[in-house]
Amino acid sequence: MRNSLSLAVVLLGLPSCVLANHGDALLLGQQVVTASRTGNAPVSIASSSIITRDEIERQQAGSVPELLQRLAGVSVTSNGGRGKSTSVSIRGTSDKHVLVLIDGVRIGSATSGSAALQSIPVEQIERIEVVRGPRSSLYGSEAMGGVIQIFTRRGAADGVKPYASVGAGSRSSYSGSAGVAGSHGNGWFNMGVASESTDGISARAFRSAAPNAYEPDADGYRELSAQLRAGYRFDSGLELDGSWLQSENHGDFDTRSTSGATGRDAYSDGSL
């Protein structure tokens, strides 16, 4: 019988170890399934970076662009101080070619096409994932330069855990946040509020070519945000996740013309 079995293995061209270990479980490499329904290995060939909540608190950055400008291949251009129009590009592409997602939902201006990253409250963020390079095959034409995925805060370990923070700085800058996160069984939740205000700096620098357009006033910024996120994981592994984020902001800016017409009272209100 043993000789017949060996002969069958030779004739079929199969390795003998396959028949000898037919009772053992077949072990495959770990797979990660994303919303694109495409399986990816844990180690991706794409250049990517992750900014965790611990890194956000350690860096003490005041905005999302400040966090992103520390990453290789990411360029940030701002038109002034806190809250002013800011563009983020990856590997030299246009800011309109960078796709921005918050909890899987695309955000961006209907007119300019770019996302107002300067208006996203840092205190409401759990982590940021940045993928450099073209990812249009998965995310569409907006991802020619890369993808920035922002995930809001979610429940922590079992039980309920409150959190709070306060901050103060120069130019009458103040910030504060408070919230509560928790989980019980297969369910989890997080809710929080955050506020920020600053007198700011002048949004327009002096130019010798147009001296009358310079207005040396402080252009302030105020922001108030709230966030709620909850989810439940079933025993089958299916997870339902819902999130809500609202941010209201007010920013002053300069519009003084070269003829000297004042723009001291110019401002913009935005919401996210």
Residue 155 region by backbone torsions, left for phi larger than 0, else alpha for psi between -120 and 50, else beta: beta
Q: What is the sign, positive or negative, of the torsion defined by CA atoms of 16, 17, 22, 26?
A: negative
Largest CA distance in the chain: 103
Question: Which segment of 35-44, 163-172, 216-225, 246-255 scores lowest on mean pLDDT?
Answer: 35-44
Distances from the Cα of 81 to the Cαs of 56, 65, 76, 251, in angstroms? 20, 12, 13, 10
CA gap 272, 193 in Å, rounded: 14
146: alpha, beta or left? (left if phi > 0; alpha if psi -120 to 50) = left
Query: In this predicted model, what pLDDT tens digit does every residue of 125-161 receive, in sequence order?
Result: 999 999 998 888 888 878 888 999 999 998 877 788 9
Question: What are the tokens at 60?
Answer: 């003490």
Tens digits of residue pLDDT in 86-130:
889 998 888 888 999 999 888 876 666 678 888 899 999 999 999
The Cα 142–Cα 97 span in angstroms is: 5
Read off the pLDDT band of 35 (50, 70, 90): low
If we measure between CA atoms, which residue out of 70, 72, 79, 115 comes closest to residue 97? 115
- Cα 90 from chain centroid? 14
Contact 267, 252 (CB under 8 A): yes
Give the H/E segment covering residue 19.
helix 16-20
Residue 230's identity, in one-letter code, is A
Say if residues 153 and 179 touch (Cβ distance below 8 Å).
Answer: yes
Give this prediction's pTM: 0.72
For the stretch 205-223, pLDDT in tens is 777 777 777 777 788 899 9
Determine how many CB atoms are found less than 10 A away from the CB of residue 53.
14
How far apart are the C-alpha atoms of 12 and 14, rounded to whole Å? 5
Distance of alpha carbon 221 from alpha carbon 207, whole angstroms: 24
Both tokens of residue 78?
A: 């701002």
Checking DSSP bridges between strand 219-233 and strand 32-33, what pairing results, if any? unpaired
Q: Could you tell me the two tokens for 73? A: 């291949």
What is the signed CA dihedral for 113, 62, 272, 270, rounded to 10 degrees? -80
User: Which domains does the chain possess?
Assistant: 45-271 (2.170.130.10)
Neighbouring C-beta atoms of residue 9, cutoff 10 Å = 16
242-269: per-residue pLDDT in tens? 999 999 999 887 776 666 566 567 778 8
